Amino acid sequence: MASDGGSGEWGSVFDIQRFCVQDGPGIRTTVFLKGCPLRCAWCHNPESWRREPQVFYIPERCIGCGACVSACPRGLHGTGDGVHRFERSGCTGCGMCAESCPSGALTLCGHGATAGEVLKTVLRDEPFYRSSGGGMTVSGGEPLMQPRFTQALVEGAKAAGLHVCVETCGYGEWKALRRIAACTDLFLWDFKLGGEEDHRRYTGVGNRGILENLRRLDESGIRTVLRCPLIEGVNLTPRHARDIAELAEELRNLQGIDLEPYHPLGESKRARLGMEEGSGGGKMLDRALAEEMAGWVRARTRVPVTVR
């Protein structure tokens, strides 16, 4: 039931990207939610992990104007001996430094917004959704970590006649997922690793609940696409290809399998957040290896496989 506070439902967002062409059909706007229960070693949106706003800092852009020094209420910025130092450990993400920074060296990633505010932006591109069969995609981060907010977004989008996609790793409460699914045309569902232990090792959580959710979703007739990140040294194996194919064969409403070759571009963002380096490898995955994987999967399932 949509509460009349639906559009007033508040959530944490780190980007609303217009003209997305790879997160569902047609031309779409993707809403990236901030906050994720997983900690995948290869994550390309590390700014999505924590729910609260965080400061991005790009030292090369600093022009040494010192505006942030006076702006920060906790005195975390300093420009002693001409070098700008940022003491991140005390940062609360208030964003005052980013507000004062003219050069974009300091930006605040993540802000609170109501579903209504987000939908207002999403609906601006309605002419394009109509002409292309596109719509809204909710991604992140993990939509299921903000279930009421996600529900308000998808309900609002559906009420406006939009096609709705949700990108999720599937880790969350079934009840919440079911309510969201009532207004979702297509789920883009991550399948990272088959084995429970492996899954926990690389993402921080097990996958039993995730798979249960997926199966229940499928039983209710909801359409899905499997999103499979390929990481060398982790899951680029015939074994994982078999797991993907077997899962695909199980699901009756699976539309396709997207293989997503690892790319290291998230490393830049880790640096900007003052995080340690990730462990995905640092280089784009060789396309030939991804194609080989695709071949293994195709040998075992009729579900269409695409290498992205």
Partner 1 sequence: MMGETAKLRIERLRKEAVKPEIGYGRFYLDFYEKFSSADPALPLEERYAAAYVPAFDALEPEIGEDELIVGRATAVLDEADRQREREAFEKASALFETGGQDSHMTVDYPLLLREGIHGILKRIEDLSKDADEAKLRFYGSCRECLQAVVRFSQRYAQLAKRMAAECEEPRRRKDLERIAEICARVPAEPAASFREAVQSVHFLTFCLSINPFRPTAGGQQFQLGRPDRYLEPYYEADLKAGRITADEAQELIDCLAVMINRRVISGLSSGYMVGGRDADGRTVANDLTRMGIRAVEDVRLVYPAVGLCWTPEMPEDIMDLACETLSHGRSHPAIFNDDLISQSLREYGVSDAESHEYIHSTCVEITPVAASNNWVASPYTNLAQLLLDAMDREYPSLDALTDAVLERLAEKIRVHFEEQNALRLSRAKTSVNPLLSCFVNDCLARGTDIERGGARYNWIMPSFVGMANLIDSLYAVGKVVFEEKRLKLTELRQILDRNFEGEEALRLRLLNTIDKYGNDVDEVDAYAPRITQFIVAECRKYTPVFSGGRLTPSVFCWVMHERFGRQTGATPDGRPSGFPLGDGSGPCQGRERCGPTASILSSTKWSHKELIGGVAVNMKFAKKIFTEDSASRMKALIRTYLERGGFEMQINVVDRDTLLEAQRDPERYEDLVVRIGGYSDYFVRLSRQMQEEVLLRTEHGI
Question: Site residues (CB under 8 A) for partner 1?
Answer: 14-15, 17-23, 26-27, 30, 32, 44-45, 58, 63, 65, 67, 102-104, 124-125, 127-128, 130-134, 139, 167, 188, 227, 258, 260, 263-269, 271-272, 283-284, 308
Residues 6+ apart with CB under 8 A from 153: 11, 31, 115, 118, 119, 136, 138
Extract the runs of DSSP E, i.e. beta strands, from the chain: 10-20, 28-33, 54-57, 77-78, 85-86, 106-109, 111-114, 135-140, 163-168, 186-190, 224-230, 254-261, 305-307
Q: How far is the CB of 82 from partner 1 (least distance, A)?
A: 15
Q: How far is the CB of 172 from partner 1 (least distance, A)?
A: 17
For partner 1, the closer CB: 102 or 238: 102
For partner 1, the closer CB: 198 or 260: 260
For partner 1, the closer CB: 6 or 297: 297
Q: Enumerate long-range contacts of 13-16, CB under 8 Å, 24 or more apart.
A: 13/110, 13/111, 13/112, 13/113, 13/118, 14/45, 14/47, 14/48, 14/109, 14/110, 14/111, 14/140, 14/141, 16/118, 16/121, 16/122
Extract the runs of DSSP E, i.e. beta strands, from 131-277: 135-140, 163-168, 186-190, 224-230, 254-261
For partner 1, the closer CB: 129 or 296: 129
Q: How far is the CB of 122 from partner 1 (least distance, A)?
A: 11
Which candidate, 190, 244, 242, places its Cα nearest to that of 213? Answer: 190
Q: How far is the CB of 1 from partner 1 (least distance, A)?
A: 30
For partner 1, the closer CB: 227 or 240: 227
Report the distance separating Cα 289 and Cα 40, nearest Å.
21
Q: How far is the CB of 243 from partner 1 (least distance, A)?
A: 21
Residues 6+ apart with CB under 8 A from 75: 69
3-class secondary structure, 261: strand
Task: Measure the CA angle with vertex 263, ends 257 and 267; round to 5°.
Answer: 140
Q: How far is the CB of 64 from partner 1 (least distance, A)?
A: 9
For partner 1, the closer CB: 14 or 296: 14
Tokens in use for 65?
């104007």
For partner 1, the closer CB: 6 or 119: 119
Q: How far is the CB of 56 from partner 1 (least distance, A)?
A: 8
Q: How far is the CB of 282 from partner 1 (least distance, A)?
A: 8
For partner 1, the closer CB: 267 or 292: 267
Residue 150, amino acid: T
